[in-house]
Structure 1
């Protein structure tokens, strides 16, 4: 979570009432924590600050610091303790012991595998927890927590399985959060060797044992609950060989049962085997193993689920299906293309009808020929289990729910496509080299630079005409350019056009990475042609885009999301280069995109004025 640098969005000091509310949240989310220990995390007279951070992935989290020490992390789901909080309250979450060399590997970005976890013989003292529980890790040589993460499998699976990733790392000692200069210097304390059920890792067990001493009275008060549970206990003990008993170095004073008693593993072994199958079935739901579908149907459904997961609660219903489709396409990964035409549904209506049969949403015809989504099932299992890609929420916030209709909409997840900056240039020839001194022959210059050099040449040689206003007297050098006799007066516009006409046309393309390409030939303009296909369907063919440095796949993705229509790269018979083919008459959109957004001069787009004046 904090492996890469983050940005500070806001910094707010909490009031006393807000600190009390935070302490109450800690007790609610960690019920086993006593009130005295909560006060150690958030003392009443402490200085508590809430920092709103924007992570490298685009997600936003809140970090609560107490006296310049980060204590808690607030995500969309729940509160997470930092390693600093676990140093004060070690039993806030279940703690696992890992081999000492593993800590540096996880700090370097490696995942935690089951062989790296130290498991006690027979599972004695091993913490009990379910999948997705927040847990902490410490090393054998130091009981101080060094890692906070989310368990990808349950504790029973950790004891039964031999390999596999078992933790989603969220916070590591030494990450960017610990190195933040806003906090005090954070160093991991020395707490002695760690182990399960004994040693410095569970110094607070004494208090738990005293509380457990009243358990026999509770069983007497509730005999109906205690008697059925009592018989299986000797059976579990009978399964343990007698020679193993003297090998346990635990003193008699620490033998009373605790909440993580390993006998629970034996008693619930059947249920754990059943949940093991369920865990294998839903393992792919974890962020580490979730994959984006590659087929057209799956990708279309994935985009719909991502949009509904992020925007279903804030949409205004009824929501037109064409706007829904445009918004869905915003979330398509940049390396793939979502197109309903390439799916088995072929039409958006059939796809939404299939989703309606699944119970995901409800579609109705609000007007004649206009369909809209009237309701979304937020409790649908597929929607609840789906996880949108990182940064998708920020993209939709920037684009808006109905984005994509204008020339600027439809940006892929990695950002807007940045085309090259195209400028009209002119190369100096021998005919004009004497007038444009000190510019050398072959150098490419703009029309404004040509005009500036001509003006300077006329002023230096005092060639301004006194008889004709706005004219220049011809000398030998200017006479070669215009073809007029010496001494004749020529208008400035005619002189400028003659000078440019004597030069070689060129085109300069400046790309986003800073590279510059100069084409010393006259480029053919970009042409837009409306053609008809089978069934009298119109398509827009845009040719000669590559000559101006445009990337057809990237530009096609922008056009596809901008007009919510099928778009691809093709080549017609007899054509020398690839063309962009967009479904429907999209000449107005393409002209507006190239000229108004990307700054391409109108002269490079054939029929630009006609296309811009065309109704949408």
Structure 2
């Protein structure tokens, strides 16, 4: 609305009675503000002006100025706070987060699309269509824009985070902001759960079967992982590169749908949640279980509708679905003991399953207990084509090794007070490198901080202060939705102290510490 210059009609001091009415209107419009804070925002004696103006599209807007800054604006009898006000009261509105690169588009007049919204591990704030919301950037809770939600949170999730999310009204760096003192957003740390005060390091990592589990605790506040679960839709509707090559898109979507369904039942749905609305299962659980880089779209599956898919799951005796009220279906029971494909397993669980299977089917060699006879199922799972008619037995260790090699590696990260975050692939260490820029000046570059719950923007701010050197946060090359931090000079020593001593990360998860400058050398 204020992306372009506006025309001022009048600028007058507010009357005493109008001041009291404005304070009452603010209290009614923003109940969470409270009477005391409303009196702080609309003081009794300080200078307060009313500016009537016309936005560049002709909208008549009333702006309330306190001192040098606009604090509120009124449009069609609705009151809205400015970013100056939200910097003092950052929790006034439900806040959604986006990436720093998006701010330039918003300040230029663009609305915020859902693929640009960063979904935290705790989920999106609950809002309804038409609710007023704040928009902040990754790493800083100070809002940089306000907008109206184009759909409810449930609708956002049901859409697969596609389409317009918010109609943006006002932003940092627009012309309404320029009418104030042009101050920059303060640094407000993201809300995070304090880890335990125990000095004992608690890290259990290393591929155990196909699952690595990482638990981080320390004295420093654990930063939230910033990662968007949604990716922009493309014209082909293709899945990520790790989808099975050669399979029809419909078959891939059927597999993804079942994977998200089973993962949601295993890791998110509890017995106390039943009966559970089928729409809630999809919107609040299944979409958030979709693997990174993939897009769950039921219309592209063979089922076309969630109800048909759940009927199939009911036939498989995994769940029971009933219509508890007219037109509204709910999941009433779940067979938690049903064997499920796609579940994550630790190495000990894999070993137990294989041992039980071999004993149950009398596959242990009677003459040599260290050997296991291969039945047709094990042959298909573990042997190459040229081995299937040659290899009849395998030692236990070889059998276990081959089984683990055929499984998809994954790791799980758990932060205090948050749901575990499961990702496919191997756990990458924090990568520290030195690079040469112009005039042979060295810079230190660090990547993969988000994997360990560290906010790159916060790390950059700390290093800038400690090293007294300039820092830059930018997208990491070749890594989607990941940022890298660049610090002027060889700052690996300071970086190592921060990661090892304050964040208490074990050195085996940090790559490049050996490149720190030697003592006595610059």
Shorter chain as normaliser: what TM range?
Answer: 0.3 to 0.5
Higher RCO (C-alpha under 8 Å, 6+ residues apart): 2
TM superposition score normalised by structure 1? 0.32
More strand by share: 2
